[in-house]
Amino acid sequence: MPNTPQQQRRTDRIESILGLATPVLNLVLAAGDRLSRIVAPPEEDQYAIRPAGERLELAELRATSPAARRQPEA
């Protein structure tokens, strides 16, 4: 369904406001990113969920899933 003229004017107004605000919002995001990198201590306690040599095999997971274990009804 096409927009009414009033809806189109409102849409155009909102899009123009967002277009003008975009550079300011990008600066706020960039400043916040820099600030968080400076203020936050380095996280040395991070570790991998899976050891580097271990691979995730989806075929094995699918074979052991509850849906795969259900027997088809006859």
The pLDDT-based confidence of 31 (bands split at 50, 70, 90) is very high
Q: In this predicted structure, what is the pLDDT of residue 46?
A: 66
Instruction: Answer yes or no: is pLDDT of 52 > 80.
Output: no
Instruction: Answer yes or no: is pLDDT of 57 > 60.
Output: yes
Predicted model pTM = 0.46
Question: Using CA atoms, how far apart are residues 61 and 67, in angstroms rounded to an integer?
Answer: 11
The pLDDT-based confidence of 8 (bands split at 50, 70, 90) is very high
Residue 53 amino acid letter? G
